[in-house]
Amino acid sequence: MRLKTQKEENRNKKSFQVKIKLFRNRVFKKAKTVMFYMSFGGEVDTVGMIKAAQKIGKTVVVPVCGKNGLMSPCVLKDRGTLLRGPYGIREPALKKPVNLKSLELVVVPGLAFDKKGRRLGRGKGYYDRFLSRLTKHSVSIGLAYDFQILPFIPTTEYDVNVDKVIFA
């Protein structure tokens, strides 16, 4: 998979370019509460984005995977302790859930996207189930590297598109 074989220098440069585009986005600028994914496996790196968002006063929330197949958005405290969750993804040790209605922006990972916002996830359906529960005032933005943008992603009735994709 190209995500994992990409050179770290290239990943860092492109992740930084994606961060700049995200932070210039109107929805991001207005949002008080932003849900980021905790990057792993070569995904667009969100660690710097999370720290910068916290520094400018945003409430940062990250997903916590439950045994019921659902994700819960939980507050990520600045310098909070992180533990490995069920799939090896870092999540807060202290789980402080937030109401879905408070999420103004949800930043979404994916293995691939197309320009219409269709996404290919990791096959467990966590993000599709989560995105389907959001209110109309929440905006979802997928983050990707340019090689992850494909002409077309086939979908099923259970797949949920993101509102926008930012890539570099």
Low-confidence ranges of the chain (pLDDT < 70): 1
pLDDT at 2: 76
Q: Give CA angle at 114 (6, 151), nearest 5°.
A: 90
Given this model, what pLDDT does residue 1 score? 61
- What is the reported pTM? 0.95
pLDDT score recorded for residue 158: 93
Q: Which domains does the chain have, with CATH numbers?
A: 2-167 (3.40.50.10420)
* pLDDT attached to residue 3: 80
